[in-house]
Amino acid sequence: MEVMNEIWASDQIRSAVLISSKPGCFIAGADINMIASCKTPEEVTKLSQEGQRMFEKLEKSTKPVVAAISGACLGGGLELAISCQYRIATKDRKTVLGTPEVLLGILPGAGGTQRLPKMVGVPAAFDMMLTGRNIRADRAKKMGLVDQLVEPLGPGLKPPEERTIEYLEEVAVTFAKGLSDKKISIKRDKGLVEKLTSYAMSIPFVRQQIYKKVEEKVRKQTKGLYPAPLKIIDVVKTGIEQGSDAGYLSESQKFAELTMTKESKALIGLYHGQVLCKKNKFGAPQKEAKHLAILGAGLMGAGIAQVSVDKGLKTILKDATLAGLGRGQQQVFKGLNDKVKKKALTSFERDSIFSNLMGQLDYQGFEKADMVIEAVFEDLSLKHRVLKEVEAVIPDHCIFASNTSALPINEIAAVSKRPEKVIGMHYFSPVDKMQLLEIITTEKTSKDTTASAVAVGLKQGKVIIVVKDGPGFYTTRCLAPMMSEVLRILQEGVEPKKLDSLTTSFGFPVGAATLVDEVGVDVAKHVSEDLGKAFGERFGGGSVELLKQMVSRGFLGRKSGKGFYIYQEGVKSKNVNSDMDGILASLKVPPKSDVSSDEDIQYRLVTRFVNEAVMCLQEGILATPTEGDIGAVFGLGFPPCLGGPFRFVDLYGAQKIVDRLRKYEAAYGTQFSPCQLLIDHASSPNKKFFQ
């Protein structure tokens, strides 16, 4: 700001270029901690207004200011850029523009809600601000968000990145001069579509319709659980309908209100957690894993292969049969080809990435593997067999990772000659979409093995939690009691559709009944039997008989076309599988009326989940509550607006959760007994998982 004042004061300077000296980043947003340190909404409002004033001064600058953008230009960075007179961006993958505030439960609080609609039009501005999506430079140019693009350069007399920034600066300076000499106009030629939209937007009736439409859509998607999107709409509307003074005022006030919400605190907590879980706290492994081998070309194996080859890891995909292998190879190809269709890859890049994959039926080349990840069927004796086979062919340093969702790793490692090299890597399906990777270490797993597994996971783009070995590890273990409750609720006569709507309206992205179908009824049965054996009565509730009967009838969920619902290729709307009625009727149990209200049903599910999660921390399965929250949200779809089970306890209040558990305990018994750690938190209100 001081520099800007100097520029405005000096007669010698006629224009300016704003550029970041940090490669790969223009400005990735304001400091979230600055907002967190504010105690009252008034403080935040003041902060926001300061930002607004600063950018307004920039916007009204008589000397043209050009923003030269290379790398992330997000949040406050974008608000700064759109206050400048001209924007030039490098056209590379690292350069993205966006307003991710909504993902943190807040809104662009430094004039963004007012400037963006004017710059890119109301519909596009809503899209940006309500989804928080990153926009690549070339798309930004088409939208009118940037005025010029600069191509990234290759090697010259300096490293490419360095020279590219220099070149961006040179080009930006040329434009800055051109602007001050009035040789270049800041007015952009609008396309026909753009002209039509902006004309349509000048009609009040059309505008009202758009607000209404967007609001409806937001309400439907957020189910009223997230306040930020609605406030964004409101602020934009105020600015357009009542003028910019009202708009700016509303922006700063609503911004302040949002920063004080539980939702925002939950989402910001998740953001911090995600950053933490993208780091390797075990340090760099002794040997970087470059050659991967994956056993089993099923849904998981092929998915793991896909996220490996596109990061440049040489990957062997081995299966027992040619048909199975072919299916897996096709899955990888399709995953890559879909990116080509979305123009995220060129067909040439796809081919070159695909050449990192070697599909085979034998163990050829395993002598060069740095890590083997097995994703064969969940059967201990089978896993033992492949472990022995693999250990006969791999080099000494090679790590053996098991992708299992419930089989204890130490049982798998029992037959290993080198248990320090055995680790669990629990991926989530679909692997290319789900961000979480749960890494499981046994007592014997060496630190270097863990470091290497985390390094590979990070390379694959995963958010990683590292947990101790035990039945169901962390994620599956939390899910199991909740699933047991799901079965009981269904047995008590709640319709699958009703149950789904109760869970989604609580904030789960997928309804509970649908989740069983997606996971696979046979898998669910397997897991609940295994964990039922391990944990006994506490994991009881619904009857596994329900799942057994479904499996015997072939209702395996989505993969077999039938589960609680009927799945048909090309048909979007799901119909309830009426054949389930008989099974459900035969296993019906009478509901208990005092714990069967809609809210009680929701809390029966959530409190069992949360209680189990806290118990995992208590038992040392989890190292930190952060990992518990990240694992629950990114792996199991725990409502992000609640921030994860631990954040939820902090924000909702441990006492209230314990009270609920006690109430259900009275009805159903020990399955709902709160764990000691939770009771401790309830009895001393100062105790928080996150300070």
- Residues in contact with other proteins by the rule CB under 8 A: 148, 151, 153-160, 163, 167, 171, 174-175, 346, 348
Residue where the block lists tokens 């391990």: 534
Nearer to other proteins, 163 or 459 (CB): 163
CB of 153 to other proteins, least distance (A): 4
Q: What are phi and psi of 571, to 5 degrees?
A: -100, 125
Nearer to other proteins, 154 or 590 (CB): 154
CB of 93 to other proteins, least distance (A): 13
Nearer to other proteins, 347 or 364 (CB): 347
Strands ordered across the beta sheet of 72-74: 25-27, 72-74, 96-98, 135-136
Distance CA 457, CA 401 (A): 11
User: Which residue type does 631 have?
Assistant: G
Q: Cis omega before residue 430 (within 30°)?
A: yes
Alpha helical stretches, state H, 432-564:
447-459, 475-491, 496-506, 512-519, 521-535, 544-552
Distance CA 309, CA 611 (A): 39
Q: At what angle do helices 244-259 and 227-242 cross, to 10 degrees?
A: 170
Distance CA 678, CA 65 (A): 55
Start-to-end C-alpha separation, the chain = 34
Pairing, β 436-441 against β 422-427: antiparallel
Nearer to other proteins, 164 or 514 (CB): 164
Distance CA 321, CA 301 (A): 14
Q: How many Cβ atoms from other residues are within 10 Å of residue 543's Cβ?
A: 17
Nearer to other proteins, 61 or 174 (CB): 174
Distance CA 521, CA 524 (A): 5
CB of 466 to other proteins, least distance (A): 38
Nearer to other proteins, 156 or 669 (CB): 156
438 catalytic, yes or no? yes
**Which helix (DSSP H) or strand (DSSP E) does residue 378 occupy?**
none
Q: What are phi and psi of 427, to 5 degrees?
A: -90, 160
Taking the CA atoms of 117, 121, 122 and 126 in sequence, report the sign of the dihedral they define. negative
Residue where the block lists tokens 């006994």: 536
CB of 159 to other proteins, least distance (A): 8
**CA 675 from chain center: how many Å?**
29
Task: Break the chain down into helix, strand, coil percent, rounded to 5.
Answer: 55, 10, 35
Nearer to other proteins, 82 or 150 (CB): 150
Nearer to other proteins, 154 or 570 (CB): 154
User: Which residue type does 166 have?
Assistant: E
Nearer to other proteins, 163 or 498 (CB): 163
Question: Which residue of the set 79, 251, 378, 438 is catalytic?
Answer: 438
Structure tokens at 586: 């035969």
CB of 184 to other proteins, least distance (A): 9
CB of 157 to other proteins, least distance (A): 5
Q: What are phi and psi of 234, to 5 degrees?
A: -60, -45
Structure tokens at 95: 């350069």
User: Which residue type does 397 have?
Assistant: H
CB of 315 to other proteins, least distance (A): 22
Nearer to other proteins, 155 or 570 (CB): 155
- Longest alpha-carbon distance in the chain: 88
CB of 283 to other proteins, least distance (A): 29
CB of 316 to other proteins, least distance (A): 25
Q: How many Cβ atoms from other residues are within 10 Å of residue 630's Cβ?
A: 28
Which of 521, 523, 575 lies closest to 546, judged by CA? 521
Structure tokens at 592: 């208990």
CB of 243 to other proteins, least distance (A): 36
CB of 326 to other proteins, least distance (A): 25
Structure tokens at 560: 């077999």
User: Which residue type does 393 have?
Assistant: V
**CA 643 from chain center: how many Å?**
12
Structure tokens at 211: 């607000």
Nearer to other proteins, 163 or 327 (CB): 163
Alpha helical stretches, state H, 1-111:
2-9, 32-36, 41-59, 76-81
**Which helix (DSSP H) or strand (DSSP E) does residue 67 occupy?**
strand 65-69
Which residues are catalytically annotated? 438
